[in-house]
Amino acid sequence: MSNDLANVHPSSQAASGPSGIPSAHMRQSTAAKAGHEHEPISRQYLTFNTSGECYALGILSIKEIIEFGNITKVPLVPLFVRGVINLRGAVVPVIDLSARLYGHCISEGKRTCVVIVEINTPDGLMELGIVVDAVNEVLELSSTDLSQAPNFGSRIRTDFIEAMARINEKLVMVLALDKVLSIEEMSALVALREQGATDL
């Protein structure tokens, strides 16, 4: 089930891609090679930690991993918006994943890093950074390793969970990136914060 890549860690400078993240060619589903429509579909996922929990994201949405730092704070934004970074001339918003999921910011450590992801918005593709405690490894999981997310019992909103993955006999939450990083929802929260400040 696993496809360990030894050096999944943030690059010291923003490069064309993160160490340990396979190229676009390597990202292709192994199902394309299987040639049998009933065989399980396999995809690769990056696992990482935040707030004491392990999560997974499909690597097709991940652009790169960079070191934490050089974040410019932005006034009048919700707690989960850490600020913006300059990524090769582009201004990229940075979201604190712990604050978004649990309401409290990450305590930065030696392995804290920013995962740059690409999401679909009504205006097209957009890059965002998410701050996580540490990245772990890239794993290949088949559809048989995934199960439907429960409707209760989670510490985070159930709509934030795309699926549950069985990894080394443990259950890991696969995040629904389009829900966690919903531009419409986060923009509405920013607007409410700004309105509250105006009313003071």
Distances (CA, A) of 96 to 112, 131, 132, 145, 200: 11, 5, 7, 28, 26
pTM of the entire predicted model = 0.76
Q: Is the dihedral of CA 79, 164, 54, 135 positive or negative?
A: negative
**Domain membership flag for residue 92:** yes
Give me the domain span that covers residue 133. Answer: 31-199
Q: What is the pLDDT of residue 49?
A: 95
Give the mean pLDDT of 16-38.
49
CATH number at residue 186: 2.40.50.180
**Domain membership flag for residue 61:** yes
**Domain membership flag for residue 20:** no
The model's pLDDT over 125-146, given as tens digits with 9 standing for 90+, comes to 999 999 999 999 999 998 889 8
